[in-house]
Chains A and B, each alone.
Chain A
């Protein structure tokens, strides 16, 4: 199985701050890496696919980058509505696996 390790596991930042979350894969997954946002009590929402493709309707302050084994999700200016847990997921090979999540809070 491909292991995904996210860091940090949690963070707190001010509104307007730039926030970066990292996801590292245990082997080369090319760009088959997707990012999700899960708000409290809700199902996950796909934000970014194939490493850097912003999904329709997702605010442009979200961006993704990386390939191979290291990937990054960036929120350019944190907003109160961004409070959630973020997960990476690899779609290179089954079994699909998720990172352990990064909880984002407002300071």
Chain B
């Protein structure tokens, strides 16, 4: 079955850029039925959607993070990535990648059915 695995530095300095990769195994990012998402969870808090990418490169970002976020897909490596610039302590969180299903015919989305285990990123000098 499809598995997702986040990777990247666990510690980032303030004002620098957070970079994470989500590796996809058991399936392909080229799937026309799935979008590839990043979600984060600050300590003791709820889930915050960051954005998604489609294999074609189509993207959507959270308006609150849009000015600092870049999500991209690398079909040759079967992975997708997150870059978040100018980080502050408020960006300290567990970052999850997740697969989001989309009905090809009608176009609606219907839930994130595969999640990575999450990776903790601390922003500190």
Contacts and interface: CB of A to CB of B under 8 A. Distances in A.
B110 to A, nearest CB: 5
A43 B63 contact: no
Given A46-B113, A50-B110, A91-B111, A96 B96 contact: no
A46 B112 contact: yes
Interface residues of B, number: 24
A104 to B, nearest CB: 15
Contacts of A46: 111-113
- Interface size class, chain A: 20 to 34
Given A43-B96, A44-B115, A95-B60, A49 B46 contact: no
Chain B CB within 10 A, most for which of A1, A43, A94, A100: A43
B-side interface mostly: strand
Interface string B88-106: 0000000010101100000
B82 to A, nearest CB: 15
A64 B46 CA distance: 21
Contacts of B60: 94-95
Contact of B109 (A32, A45, A100): A32
10 contacts: A1-B63, A32-B109, A36-B47, A43-B96, A55-B113, A89-B47, A96-B49, A96-B100, A99-B46, A101-B47
Interface of A: 1, 32, 34, 36, 38, 42-46, 49-50, 53, 55, 87, 89, 91, 94-101
